[in-house]
Structure 1
Amino acid sequence: ISEKDIELIGHIFLIIKKLTKQLGLHEEGYRIVNNCGEFGGQTVSHIHFHVLAGRQLLWPPG
């Protein structure tokens, strides 16, 4: 992810918001996670997001 991707990332977040409303996840809340790099668990560099919902999410995650 770089500065040139700012519009794309913003668009992705708006789509996630729309999808969580359609799926009924927005009322209770959700978490958006993006893992980057080796320590983030990536072996192939790419962008993807996880949308976590359906239960109380604690901090630290795990």
Structure 2
Amino acid sequence: MINSIPVAKVDIAGVTKGKVVTADAAHGVLANDTDPDNDSLHVTAVNGVAANVGHALAGVLVP
């Protein structure tokens, strides 16, 4: 049997200036992801630049 790849969905979080967003894997970044073979999903590493961690993706700057 061939192992099918997991399906990762986009995760979005917003926060106001001076605040922090915290999410664990099971209830945060993996909550909407699936594996066709029902294999367990794990987060092993996060690349902040590639994952746009700490970067504004959309919004309006209000001076």
Q: Give the alignment's TM-score, normalised by structure 2.
A: 0.27
**Structure 1 or 2: larger strand share?**
1
Q: Give the alignment's TM-score, normalised by structure 1.
A: 0.27
Larger radius of gyration: 2
| Greater relative CO, 1 or 2 (CA 8 Å, sep 6+) | 2
